[in-house]
Amino acid sequence: MILKLFLPRKNLMARSVNPFYNRKSMDLTQLGSKRVLFVTGKGGVGKTFVSFALAQRFARQGRKSLVVQIGASSTLPRPYQKVSLGYNAQPLERNIYGARWDGPHCLKEYLLSLIPVSQLYRLFFENRVMRSLIDVAPGLLEVAILGKITHSAQRPIDSEEYDLIIVDGFATGHFISLLRAPIGLSEAIQGGPVAVRSRQIVETLRAPEICEYVVVALPEELSLVETREFCLTLKKELEVCPKIICNRSIVPPASVEELKKILAHISEKSVLSQFVIDLLFRLDIEKKAILELGQTGQDVFCFPEVLNPSDSGV
Amino acid sequence: MDQLLRSKRIIICLGCGGVGKTTLAAGLAVRAARLGLKTLVLTIDPSKRLATSLGMELNDQSQGSVHFVQGVLQDLSEASKVNISSPGPGQLFAGIVDPKSTFDRFVRQVVRDENLYHKVVSNSLYRQLITRLNGSQEFTSLQRLYECYSSNEYDLIILDTPPVEHTVDFLMAPQKIESIFQKSVSRWFIFWGQKKKNWVARALGQMTMKAFEILEKLTGSIFITELIDFFVSIESWQHNIKDRAEDVRCLLASQKVAFVMVTTYSTAQLTEALRIQKELSDLGYHLSAVLINKVVPLWPELVSVDNVTDKQLFEPFLNLVRYYNQYRNYWLQRDSIVHQMEGGVTGDLKFLRIPQKQHEVVGINELIGLSDCIKTP
């Protein structure tokens, strides 16, 4: 029944499929079956929202996930608004944990593993010249973060066993340089343990049984073009095929036919009439955009637009 | 807004990724040109279609280079002229900031000796470090801005900024790059290169020697050798980076420069705008306006609605009305946040709303349409 689609839900995601479009239903069992899920997308598309929504979905299926935020801090969705995530994982709700892994912290942890004698480590890390090198070294912090992610993929973190690590990654532009960083670093620095580790990281990122990638897009033209380009780049550089989540798709109150019929029944000059025309126009643009997204050959999943703020925090 | 465009020499657009900053920077530039000003817009990361509309060729960035033709430096990143269909004297030029060629030009300016110049740019680490160092993209954008400003060719220059997560980092980044070009840093590396000599151990101190040994173990001796070569090659001109960074800072703090921030209706970003205003003023810079992009027009309250006569449409109609109200309330809430901020703001910070366009703004006509919407209420 159409009415039921609109009842506010406690969870972040409205569950039902929009029956008016012929698009992939929200069968998300394909997602999240590997060890690490990278979520990326242009700024403002809703990566954080999607990351937590996915975590909630997996939690209901009994899978335990750790949502890791990297990059700048973003406001967490409504249930966790007041939470401040730290380096160590903290429980957010049943089967969902959160953490924030920043570059300097990850680098410090990594260097400590290489220079176990703490005096020597401090000597190195706190030396002014080394600090300035670390500050400007291209990709070093990115590699440190990726190192922690790939390292964590295969073992418990802080004594917790996770089924899945969801990485709320940088926006697509940064994401590309993030993924290129270990490659670049291993080319610049050919010898030593840093180089070896960088190459290991690249191997793990490319392993389809370990890492999975999702791009969040909006049903808008510009977003499409960028998403397509991003998918191509990812295929070329990492030989991986990301899945696409189309966020904020319109959940129309009635089918297109019904809307058109209503239009015929109400006064042309009325506000409602103008609104319906606008809505039909937006629906049409979105439909074309989603069709185009589907043509990339990747799987496309649609997440609905949430207009009622009590449902979500974004 | 027009007053701002007429009275300033430089306008810098800040904002997070995804808000439409590059497009708005172009829109602002179109408006300025149509007001009669000779305007240059410098973009960082334009989409292919926008770039085409502005007459720019998006080359593969890795191929940007500086050529010498008969001993004269050729600038490959000339700004292209854009046709804005305006009868007035204004002109619009558009350019992309190319980090590689900008930095090469900078080095060429400060390294008088042609042989040394070639030695510097052929150092295998130079290419990598210079364009990928944290802070280098920001440094080169500001350097390019400085170049264009100093040429006195333009009435107004509008600078688009890279989509960094923390937009004020853009202004702080050049200080980061400065740190590696400190005389003291390169001295250590040069000394380390001569470590066989006894006096070096005394000059560096045991602690630093140890730190270097660890670095060598971690990264291998080849990398260290290249690093040392790099520092040797920049020794004579590295202070220019610091000098230039200082020149830029002074320019940015002057009355000739205005900052505008581009956001969308998201609460998080609007709060961020206020925080940035404070950060900027702490640095001595001035935020003049907040441009709220992709604003959806507010729908009026539905006062009386006659129901449809067709029974089959009763339910869909009800849902439609409910949807209308939800949609309306959603945007009303966001608008009220802006009103709150406008009320609470000190100083002369202006808030402008720029409506969402039905189609993506990529063509020049659409840019002109957009530019007509950028005005203070």
ipTM attached to this prediction: 0.77
Q: Are B77 and B95 in contact (CB under 8 A)?
A: yes
CA triple A61-A248-A174, angle to 5 deg: 85
On whether any CB of chain A is under 8 Å from the CB of B172, the answer is no
Q: Which of A135, A194, A259 sits opposite B219 (nearest CB)?
A: A194
DSSP H or E run through A90: strand A90-93
CA triple A22-A28-A32, angle to 5 deg: 150
In this complex, do B309 and A220 lie within 8 Å of one another by their Cβ atoms?
Answer: no
In this complex, do B18 and A272 lie within 8 Å of one another by their Cβ atoms?
Answer: no
Residue type, B293: N
Mention every residue, 6+ apart, whose C-beta is less than 8 A from residue B240: B106, B110
Residue B11, strand partner residues: B158, B258
B360-364: long-range contacts at Cβ-Cβ below 8 A with a sequence spacing of 24 or more?
Answer: B360/A220, B360/A221, B360/A222, B361/B20, B361/B23, B361/B27, B361/B50, B362/A222, B362/B23, B362/B47, B362/B49, B362/B50, B362/B53, B363/B49, B363/B53, B364/B53, B364/B54, B364/B82, B364/B83, B364/B84
In A, which residues are within 8 Å of B163 by CB distance?
Answer: 43, 171, 173
Cα(A102)–Cα(A47) distance, integer angstroms: 17
In B, which residues are within 8 Å of A195 by CB distance?
Answer: 219-220
Q: Which region, left, alpha or beta, applies to residue B71 given φ > 0 means left and ψ of -120 to 50 means alpha?
A: left
Q: Sheet containing A36-41: which strands, arranged edge to edge?
A: A90-93, A96-100, A65-69, A164-171, A36-41, A211-217, A243-249, A300-304
Judge whether residue A7 has pLDDT over 50: no
Torsion angle (degrees, nearest 10) of CA B167, B173, B175, B180 = 160
Give whole-number Cα distances, A88 to A66, A105, A168, A283, in Å: 11, 11, 16, 43
DSSP H or E run through A212: strand A211-217
Task: Give the pLDDT score at A72.
Answer: 63
Q: Are B88 and B34 in contact (CB under 8 A)?
A: yes
Q: Are B192 and B204 in contact (CB under 8 A)?
A: yes
Cα(B42)–Cα(B26) distance, integer angstroms: 9
Q: Are A145 and A174 in contact (CB under 8 A)?
A: no
Cα(A227)–Cα(A238) distance, integer angstroms: 16
Tokens of B200: 């070096």
A274-287 pLDDT per residue, tens:
999 999 998 998 88
A101-147 pLDDT per residue, tens:
988 889 888 888 887 777 777 877 777 777 777 776 767 888 899 99
Q: Are B26 and B366 in contact (CB under 8 A)?
A: no
Q: How large is the greatest C-alpha to C-alpha distance in chain B, in angstroms? A: 100
Residue type, B342: E
Nearest one of A126, A134, A105, A79 to A310, comparing CA atoms: A79
pTM: 0.81
Task: Give the pLDDT score at B202.
Answer: 65
Residue type, B315: E
In A, which residues are within 8 Å of B210 by CB distance?
Answer: 120, 123-124
Tokens of A270: 């009325």
Q: Which of A123, A139, A265 sits opposite B132 (nearest CB)?
A: A139
Element counts in chain A: helices (H) and strands (E) = 10, 8
- Rounded to a whole number of angstroms, the distance from the CA of B213 to the nearest CA of chain A is 9
Q: Which residue of B has its CA nearest to A4?
A: B319
Mention every residue, 6+ apart, whose C-beta is less than 8 A from residue B374: B1, B24, B27, B28, B31, B291, B352, B354
In this complex, do B211 and A129 lie within 8 Å of one another by their Cβ atoms?
Answer: yes
In A, which residues are within 8 Å of B45 by CB distance?
Answer: 173
Helix/strand/coil for B253: helix
In this complex, do B220 and A190 lie within 8 Å of one another by their Cβ atoms?
Answer: yes
Q: For an interface test with A, which of B207, B327, B336 has the most A Cβ atoms less than 10 Å from its Cβ?
A: B327
In this complex, do A135 and B179 lie within 8 Å of one another by their Cβ atoms?
Answer: yes
Cα(A148)–Cα(A182) distance, integer angstroms: 13
Element counts in chain B: helices (H) and strands (E) = 15, 10
Tokens of B154: 């333009």
Q: Which residue of B has its CA nearest to A141?
A: B134
Q: Which residue of B has its CA nearest to A115?
A: B214
Task: Give the pLDDT score at A309.
Answer: 55
Torsion angle (degrees, nearest 10) of CA B368, B371, B373, B376 = -160
Could you write out the DSSP letters of every residue in B168-223? THHHHHHHHHHHHT-HHHHHHHHHHHTTTSHHHHHHHHHHHHHHHHHHHHHH-HHH
Q: Are A280 and A258 in contact (CB under 8 A)?
A: no
- Rounded to a whole number of angstroms, the distance from the CA of A34 to the nearest CA of chain B is 28
Mention every residue, 6+ apart, whose C-beta is less than 8 A from residue A183: A198, A202, A237
Task: Give the pLDDT score at B158.
Answer: 94
pLDDT tens, chain B, 377 aa long: 888 899 999 999 988 777 888 889 999 998 998 888 999 998 877 776 677 777 666 554 433 333 333 333 334 446 777 777 777 788 888 888 877 778 888 888 888 788 888 888 777 777 776 666 666 777 888 888 998 898 888 999 999 887 665 666 777 766 767 766 777 777 777 777 776 666 666 666 777 777 878 888 888 777 778 788 888 888 888 888 888 888 888 898 888 999 998 888 876 677 777 777 788 888 888 888 989 988 888 889 887 777 778 888 888 899 999 999 999 998 888 888 888 878 877 777 888 888 887 777 777 888 888 888 888 76
Judge whether residue A25 has pLDDT over 60: no
Q: Are B333 and A309 in contact (CB under 8 A)?
A: yes
In B, which residues are within 8 Å of A199 by CB distance?
Answer: none
Residue with tokens 């510097």: B120
- The C-alpha R_g of chain B, in whole angstroms, comes to 26
Task: Give the pLDDT score at B64.
Answer: 33
- Rounded to a whole number of angstroms, the distance from the CA of B172 to the nearest CA of chain A is 13
In A, which residues are within 8 Å of B302 by CB distance?
Answer: 271-272
Task: Give the pLDDT score at A221.
Answer: 67
Cα(B22)–Cα(B2) distance, integer angstroms: 19
Nearest one of A139, A85, A140 to A111, comparing CA atoms: A140
Q: Are A217 and A245 in contact (CB under 8 A)?
A: yes
On whether any CB of chain A is under 8 Å from the CB of B337, the answer is no
Judge whether residue A10 has pLDDT over 60: no
Nearest one of A63, A80, A89, A94 to A164, comparing CA atoms: A63
